[in-house]
Amino acid sequence: MNVENFSLINQLLLGGVSPILERNKRFKNKHEGESCYIFGNGVSLKDMDLGCFSDKIGFGCNFLFFHKDFHKLNVRYYTEPPPYWYYPFWKNPYTKKRSVNKLSLTQRKFQKVFNSVDYFVNLSNAPVLFGNNIFYIHHFGKKSFDIDGFDLSGSFVYTGALHAMIGMAIYMGFKKAYLVGCDYTHSPQRILHFYEKGRGSRSYDNSYNEDYFNLARDKIELITITNSNSTSKTLKSITYKDYTGQNESYNENYNLVNSDILKTLDQYDGYQIF
C-alpha cells in the first residue's frame, strides 16, 4: 500500500479532527515568561558541547536524538513534522522514488527516547503513530504565515521543523528562545547536517525567512547562537564562545553518531555521510 492509498484515511481524520487537536490546548501558555532552546540539526553542532545547553527546556527535531550527547539536553518537546513520515513506504524527496521507509523504522527503534517528551507529528501520521505523549499538528491547507498561524490546537502553519518549533514555543508562552544548530539563520549560512561528513559549504543568502522572523518576533525574542566566524542578518546573534565561555571543538560525524545509523542514512541520496 502506498501513500496515496491513505488519502481517504486522512480525509476521515480531518472530518473529526477537533477532539484530536483539542488535546493540544493543555500546552497553551504552559511556559509563560520562560526561556528555551530550539535545536536544529545543522553542522555547527559539530563544534559545540551539547552539555552547555542543559539549563533550559529544549525543543528538538528530526534526527537530533541520533546525536550521542542528546541525553545531556533537557529536551521536553520534539517534532518530526513531514506528512506520512511514519508510514512503511515513503517518497524520497531527492530521488522522488518510493521505497521502504528505513529512516522511520530506525527512528521507531529509538522510540523509548520519546517516553519522557511530548512528540508532535503531522496529523496524517495518526493512523500509524499514536500514544499518550504523541500529539498532532496540521495547517489545513493554509500556507501563508500570520498571527493566527501559531494555534497549536487549530490551524498551525509551518513549512519545516524550525517553523514548527518556534510556533510551538510561541503557543506555550515562552518569551525568549535561543536557536542552536539552526545554521540557515547564520551569516554566512552553513549547508550541512551534524550527521553528515565535513564542515559544510557556505552560502551568502542572508534573507532566509526574514518575513517569518519579523512576524514571530512580535511574540518571542529570538537569538541564534553562531560560530566564531558567523553572525546573522535576520536575527540577534551571539557566538557559542561568548554564550557558553567554551571554545569550539570540532568533531566529525562518526564521533557523534552510531556507525549503524550512519550506514542507514547513507542509503539515501542527498546525504553526505562517508
Summarize pLDDT for 160-199 with one digit per residue, the tens: 899 999 999 999 999 999 999 999 999 999 899 999 999 9
Q: Binning pLDDT at 50, 70 and 90, where does residue 20 land?
A: confident
* Structural contact between residues 256 and 198, judged by C-beta atoms closer than 8 angstroms: no
Domain annotation covers residue 19 = no
* Cis peptide preceding 19, ω within 30 of 0: no
**How far is 124 from 104, CA to CA, in rounded Å?**
14
Return the DSSP state at 231. B
Grid coordinates belonging to 152 = 497549536
Instruction: Note whether residue 97 is domain-resident.
Output: yes
Q: What is the pLDDT of residue 187?
A: 92
Determine, yes or no, domain membership for 18. no
Q: Could you give the number of structural domains in the chain?
A: 1
Domain limits for position 242: 28-265
* In-domain check, residue 169: yes
54, amino acid identity? S
In a domain, 129, yes or no: yes
For residue 138, tell me if it sits in a domain: yes
Write out pLDDT tens, residues 150-160: 899 988 988 88
pLDDT bucket at 88, cuts 50 / 70 / 90 = confident
For 195-240, how does the pLDDT look when each residue is reduced to its tens digit (9 = 90+)?
999 998 888 766 788 889 999 999 999 999 999 999 999 999 999 9
- Identify the three-state secondary structure at position 176: strand
Average pLDDT score over residue span 33-44: 98
In a domain, 206, yes or no: yes
Whether 13 is covered by a domain: the verdict is no
Nearest 5°: the CA angle 42, 47, 48 is 90
pLDDT at position 61, please? 96
Quick one: pLDDT at residue 264?
Answer: 87
Q: What is the mean pLDDT of the chain?
A: 87
pTM listed for this prediction: 0.90
Residue % of the chain over a pLDDT of 90: 58
Residue 146 backbone phi and psi in degrees, to 5: -150, 180
Neighbours of 99 (CB within 10 A): 12
Q: Does the pLDDT at position 11 exceed 60?
A: no
Q: Where are the alpha helices (DSSP H) in the chain?
A: 7-15, 18-22, 102-109, 161-171, 210-216, 240-244, 253-256, 259-265
Q: Which of 49-53, 110-114, 115-119 has the lowest mean pLDDT?
A: 110-114
pLDDT above 70 (res 13): no
Residue 95 to residue 182: CA distance in whole angstroms: 25
**Least trusted range by pLDDT, from 13-17, 187-191, 253-257:** 13-17
Cell of 134: 504523541
* 81: CATH: 3.90.1480
